[in-house]
Chain A
Amino acid sequence: MVTISDFAHMTAVEAVTQAIEKARSHTDFNAILSLNEERALERAVRIDKGEFTGRLAGIPFIAKDNFLTIGGTTTAASTMLQAFEAPLQSTAIEKLEAEGAICIGKANLDAFAHGGSTENSAFGPTKNAIDLTRVAGGSSGGSAVAVALGIVPFALGTDTGGSIRQPASFNGVIGVKPTYGMVSRFGVVSMASSTDTIGVLSSTTNDAELVMDIMSGQDSRDGTTLPDYFTPTTLETGLRIGVVSEAMTGSVDDDVRRAVNNSVEAMAKAGHTVERVSLSMLKYALGIYYIVVPAEISSNLGRYDGIRYGTRAQSESLTEVYGLSRDKGFMPENKRRIMIGSYVLSSGFFDAYYLKAQKARTLLINALNELFDQYDVLVMPVAPTPAFRLGENTNDPVQMYLADIMTVPASLAGMPALSIPTGTSDTGLPIGVQLIGKRKSDALLLALAKQLEEKR
Chain B
Amino acid sequence: MTHISTDDVQRMAHLSNLKLDADEIEPMRVDLQNIIEYIGQLDELDTDNVEPTYQVTDLQNVWRDDVVNTYDLTTDALVGLAPEIENAQIKVPKVL
| Residues of A that sit less than 8 Å from B by CB | 84-85, 87-88, 180-181, 194, 220-221, 223-224, 226, 283-284, 286-288, 290-291, 298, 302, 305-312, 315-318, 320-324, 326-327, 330, 332, 335-336, 338-344, 346, 353, 355-363, 365, 396-398, 401, 412-414, 439
Contacts and interface: CB of A to CB of B under 8 A. Distances in A.
A423 to B, nearest CB: 31
Contact of B57 (A221, A226, A412): A226
B84 interface: yes
Nearest to A339: B12
Contact of A355 (B9, B24, B35, B52): B52
Nearest to A399: B34
Which residue, A84, A335, A439, has most C-beta atoms of chain B within 10 A? A335
Contact of A335 (B20, B55, B64, B78): B20
B83 A87 contact: no
Contacts of A291: 39, 42
A302 B9 CA distance: 18
Interface in B1-47: 8-9, 11-13, 15-21, 24, 27-28, 31-32, 34-36, 38-45, 47
Contacts of A307: 82-83, 90, 92
Contact of B50 (A327, A332, A362): A362
Contact of B59 (A224, A287, A335, A363): A224
A316 B93 contact: yes
A340 B34 CA distance: 11
B88 interface: no
B53 A362 contact: yes
B47 A336 contact: no
Given A321-B92, A340-B35, A298 B16 contact: yes
A287 B35 CA distance: 9
Instruction: Kindly list the 6 A-B residue pairs having the minimum CB-CB distance in the complex, ordered from nearest.
Output: A323-B19, A414-B56, A358-B52, A359-B47, A312-B83, A223-B62
B52 A362 contact: yes
B34 A339 contact: no
Interface string B64-79: 1000000111000110
A339 B13 contact: yes
A413 B13 contact: no
A224 B19 contact: no
A419 B15 CA distance: 38
12 contacts: A194-B54, A224-B55, A307-B92, A308-B81, A326-B19, A330-B18, A332-B27, A343-B12, A343-B36, A344-B39, A356-B43, A360-B47
A341 B38 CA distance: 14
A286 B42 CA distance: 10
